[in-house]
Amino acid sequence: MSSKTIRLSAAITLSAFCLLSVALRAEENQVSPKQEFQALLERVKKSDASVDFARMRKLQTQLDDYEPYGDSESHPFTLLRQGNLDGAQAMVDGMLAQNYLNMEAHFAGIQIAEKRKDEKAAAHHRYVFQGVIDSILKSGDGKSTKTAYVVVTIDEEYALMGHLGLQ
C-alpha cells in the first residue's frame, strides 16, 4: 500500500471517528422530556413570565405519569364551600404535587388565597391558570376540527369552557 493510500485511509478513519464522536456527544447532551418539563416547572414555580406553557403542556403528555382524565375524587370546592380552607389547601397542594398544571387546583388556589388575603399566592395561581389558558387559546380558534383548541387534560377542557362562558 502506498503512503498516499495509507494517509487517505487514516484521514477517512479519523473523519468517521470525529463524526461518531460528535453524534455521541450530541446524543448525550439531549435533554429528556421529563428533564425539560422539570426545568420549566421550576421556572413556573418562580412565576417566570417567559415560560412557554404550550411547550410545557406538550412535554407533560410525554411523561410516564401523564393522566389526561384527572382524578374525579379530588374536588377542593366542596371543602371551600364548607369554609374548610385548610382542608381545601391540603387538597390543592396534593393535586399540584401530582400535576402542577392542574387548572382546577389553581382555580381553587386563587379562591383560597383570596379568602386568606394572600395576594402573592393568588397572583401565582392566576399566573399559572392564565398561562395555560393563553396557550390553549393560541393553539386554535375552536371554529372547526382543523382549528380546534388543543387541550391535554379534561380539566383544561372544562377550564377553557368556563373561561369562554360555556357549560
Residue 23 has pLDDT above 50, yes or no: no
Q: Flag whether pLDDT at 20 surpasses 60.
A: no
Percent helix, strand, coil in the chain, to 5, is 65, 0, 35
Cβ pair 167, 161 in contact under 8 A: yes
Residue type, 78: T
Say if CB 70 and CB 154 are below 8 A apart: yes
pLDDT digits (tens, 9 = 90+) for 41-56: 999 999 999 999 999 9
Cell 421556572 belongs to which residue?
43
Spatial separation of the C-alpha atoms in residues 91 and 65, rounded to whole Å: 19
Mean pLDDT of the chain: 85
Cell numbers 487517505 correspond to 8
Predicted model pTM? 0.75
What is the reported pLDDT for 66? 85
Rounded CA gap, 137 and 149, in Å?
6
The Cα 78–Cα 74 span in angstroms is: 10
Q: What is the pLDDT of residue 5?
A: 57
Element (H, E) at 24: helix 3-29
- Distance between the two ends of the chain, CA-based, in angstroms? 81
For residue 12, pLDDT beyond 80: no
Name 84's Cβ contacts closer than 8 Å, sequence gap at least 6: none
pLDDT in tens, 54-105: 999 999 999 988 888 765 555 899 999 999 999 999 999 999 999 999 999 9
